[in-house]
């Protein structure tokens, strides 16, 4: 349909980038990127109107994002909300990097040439007369077949140093190797400290993407081997101890992911804390500055770290006592999900690990028959006494003790 609209507006329309790459790799794809050889914003407006969608335009870059409420890319899947990025390919928008020879390229060719890797530089024509024709100027299909990640030109990492992290991410995700020349360019870029030029925010965004990948551990190891981790921050290093902790964390995340689809633990919090397990708080704060964390993110990181430390001490003591489940609940229910997962990874002690898993799967969700509303119906004036009563009913339930409301009331008062 995008192609038909292209015809109506008299502009060639292409699907590009990750969408085409994933199509050729037969891996499920969610994002749709379109390039229009003409006015991309006008196309986006018409496309949105046709599908009762919304459009957000970025005039500076001549791009737009269309959000379609009921869209199907794949006929076998039910319609769902779909974001479509629409870019404009016009020769006048391209600034040629100074050191590159000036060559006459068509606008779609130029658009593809500005991209990061050959595997992302493919386009598929969508206009009906040539629907489905693959546009491959730079040997992309060959590189996908050979499973290799290659830049399109030698200034690629100078133009955008985050591409070093993207190379690692794609390489591990698809099990592709990084081409020899591309590897050499990464090493040169690191020697020139090009990552230092990037804002912390951009590095942090790429790191988050990496940590959300299934293979995040291999990504981190590859970044360590290439020297990318220490280029981001000298203290970021995969020591054997950190690696062991991250491996344990990886197993726990897989276990948790199989049990619960949501909420998903925030991996960046977990991995940064695992990396910084032995650092002083000031050292962690220096890293948050380098990575441009927002104040909110910084607060979350520091609070989580403190609550993990506190829970760790309490759990050690709990382990030496009579191990009541109500006490375990008392220690853990203030700790965010990420903290509980990190503690599971940190403790070697099987007994604590098992109890933490019991806490996550059962104890934290335990339901009481009594609620504040019941107490109010009984005419008890609201106040802190409610929490005390409900806590003590919960504790009795967790520890398998019989409890009557009269007894709890007497105790709480």
Q: Which residue's Cβ has the minimum distance to ligand CTP?
A: 18
Distance CA 147, CA 170 (A): 10
**Which of residues 18, 40, 53, 179 is near ligand CTP by CB under 6 A?**
18
Q: Which residues are CB-neighbours of 97 under 8 A, at least 6 positions away?
A: 153, 155, 158, 159
Distance CA 217, CA 247 (A): 7
Q: How far is the CB of 399 from ligand CTP (least distance, A)?
A: 48
Q: How far is the CB of 207 from ligand CTP (least distance, A)?
A: 13
Distance CA 412, CA 392 (A): 8
Distance CA 224, CA 254 (A): 23
Q: Give yes or no for a contact between 175 and 26, defined as CB atoms under 8 angstroms apart.
A: no
Q: How far is the CB of 311 from ligand CTP (least distance, A)?
A: 35
Site for ligand CTP in 148-187 (CB under 6 A): 160, 162-163, 166
Q: How far is the CB of 163 from ligand CTP (least distance, A)?
A: 5
Partnered with residue 124 across adjacent β-strands are 15, 134
Site for ligand CTP in 31-60 (CB under 6 A): 31, 33
Q: How far is the CB of 18 from ligand CTP (least distance, A)?
A: 2
CA nearest to 118, candidates 140, 145, 148, 144: 140
Distance CA 346, CA 340 (A): 10
For position 214 contacting ligand CTP by CB under 6 A, the verdict is: no
**Complex with ligand CTP: residue 80 or 306, whichever CB lies closer:** 80
For position 298 contacting ligand CTP by CB under 6 A, the verdict is: no
Q: Give yes or no for a contact between 63 and 34, defined as CB atoms under 8 angstroms apart.
A: no
**Complex with ligand CTP: residue 25 or 314, whichever CB lies closer:** 25
Q: Which residues are CB-neighbours of 386 under 8 A, at least 6 positions away?
A: 372, 375, 380
Q: How far is the CB of 173 from ligand CTP (least distance, A)?
A: 8
Return the residue matching tokens 């902790």.
245
- The mark string for 93-122 relative to ligand CTP (x by CB under 6 A, - otherwise) is ----------------------xx---x--
For position 250 contacting ligand CTP by CB under 6 A, the verdict is: no
Size of the site for ligand CTP (CB under 6 A): 11
Residue 184 per-residue DSSP state: H
**Complex with ligand CTP: residue 135 or 274, whichever CB lies closer:** 135
Q: How far is the CB of 166 from ligand CTP (least distance, A)?
A: 6
Residues that bind ligand CTP (CB under 6 A): 17-18, 31, 33, 115-116, 120, 160, 162-163, 166
């Amino acid at each position: 349909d995008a192609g038909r609209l292209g015809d109506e507006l008299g502009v060639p329309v292409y699907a590009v980038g990750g969408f085409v790459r994933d199509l050729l790799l037969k891996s499920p794809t969610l994002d749709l990127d379109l390039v229009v050889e003409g006015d991309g914003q006008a196309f986006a407006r018409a496309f949105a109107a046709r599908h009762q969608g919304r459009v957000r335009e970025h005039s500076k870059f001549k791009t737009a994002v269309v959000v379609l409420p009921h869209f199907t890319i794949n006929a076998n899947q039910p319609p769902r909300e779909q974001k479509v990025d629409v870019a404009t390919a016009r020769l006048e928008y391209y600034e040629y990097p100074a050191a590159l020879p000036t060559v006459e390229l068509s606008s779609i060719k130029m658009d593809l040439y500005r991209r990061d890797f050959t595997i992302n530089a493919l386009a598929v024509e969508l206009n009906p007369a040539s629907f489905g024709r693959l546009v491959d100027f730079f040997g992309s299909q060959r590189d996908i077949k050979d499973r290799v990640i290659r830049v399109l030109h030698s200034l690629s990492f100078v133009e955008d140093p985050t591409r070093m992290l993207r190379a690692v991410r794609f390489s591990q995700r698809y099990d592709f190797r990084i081409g020899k020349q591309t590897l050499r360019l990464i090493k040169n870029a690191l020697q020139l400290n090009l990552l230092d030029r990037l804002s912390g925010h951009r590095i942090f965004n790429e790191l988050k993407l990496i940590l959300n990948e299934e293979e995040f551990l291999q990504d981190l190891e590859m970044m360590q081997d290439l020297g990318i981790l220490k280029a981001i921050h000298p203290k970021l290093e995969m020591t054997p101890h950190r690696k062991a902790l991250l491996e344990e964390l990886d197993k726990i995340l897989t276990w948790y992911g199989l049990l619960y689809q949501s909420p998903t633990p925030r991996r960046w919090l977990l991995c940064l804390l695992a990396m910084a397990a032995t650092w002083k708080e000031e050292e962690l704060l220096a890293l948050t500055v380098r990575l441009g964390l927002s104040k909110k993110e910084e607060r979350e990181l520091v609070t989580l770290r403190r609550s993990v430390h506190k829970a760790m001490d309490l759990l050690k003591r709990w382990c030496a006592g009579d191990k009541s489940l109500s006490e375990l609940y008392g220690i853990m229910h203030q700790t965010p999900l990420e903290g509980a997962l990190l503690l599971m990874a940190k403790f070697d002690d099987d007994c604590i690990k098992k109890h933490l898993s019991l806490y996550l799967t059962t104890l934290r969700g335990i339901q009481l028959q009594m609620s504040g509303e019941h107490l109010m119906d009984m005419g008890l004036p609201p106040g802190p006494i409610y929490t005390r009563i409900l806590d003590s009913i919960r504790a009795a339930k967790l520890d398998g003790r019989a409890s009557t409301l009269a007894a709890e009331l007497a105790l709480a008062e």
